[in-house]
Amino acid sequence: MRLFSTIILIIFSGYSLAHKNTGLEIQSDGALFGLPKAYEPSSFDLKTFTVEVAGKKLSIPECVKHKIGVSKKGDYALDFSASWYHNSTTLPPYIKINVIPTNGKFEYHMLFNLDNLELISAKKTDKWSDIIGFRHSRVPIEFSGDCLKSIKIVSAK
């Protein structure tokens, strides 16, 4: 019984050490709150779909917005999170932008390198469901070469 309890304790302690992103709050003026000073100023312009982090700006082009469920109707929600405190040997510090369309079965997730705003990855996933037996899928979003070339990172100043 003692061995069984020890094994269970070890298994569940691993879950408590699991990495979690830090949620970011977007202020009414577009400022992103929650990043460390090294990544300030940071903001997101909802009208132009432009993210700014530490003096660099990235305007997300129409070809990307089209593939991630962003429509001119504005029938989607955005959620921002980031991670800069994980082991960066496999993944650099990043900001994650989640696009959650109001209608539809999918959510879209984009990871950008916090240091240079380069796109790391983009994925489409099933919306969360607590139905037993539901399988959560993660499908990479493929962008054309021209679309990828149109993603420009510019200095904010």
pLDDT tier, 156 (very low <50, low <70, confident <90, very high otherwise): low
> What residues make up the domain containing 98?
19-155
Q: Round the average pLDDT of the chain to a whole number and report it.
A: 83
Which one-letter DSSP state was computed for residue 31?
B
Residue 157: band (very low, low, confident or very high) from pLDDT cuts 50, 70, 90: low
Residue 65 lies in a domain: yes
- Count Cβ atoms below 10 Å from residue 155 Cβ, excluding itself: 7
Residue 141 lies in a domain: yes
- The answer to whether residue 10 is domain-embedded is no
User: What's the pTM?
Assistant: 0.80
pLDDT tens for residues 62-75? 999 999 988 777 78
64 lies in a domain? yes
Report whether pLDDT(1) > 50.
yes
- The per-residue pLDDT for 153 is 85
Sheet containing strand 50-53, edge to edge, reads: 42-45, 50-53, 56-59, 152-155
**Structural domain count, the chain:** 1
Evaluate whether residue 103 is within a structural domain.
Answer: yes
66 occurs within a structural domain? yes
Residue 9 domain-assigned (yes or no): no
Residue 14 lies in a domain: no
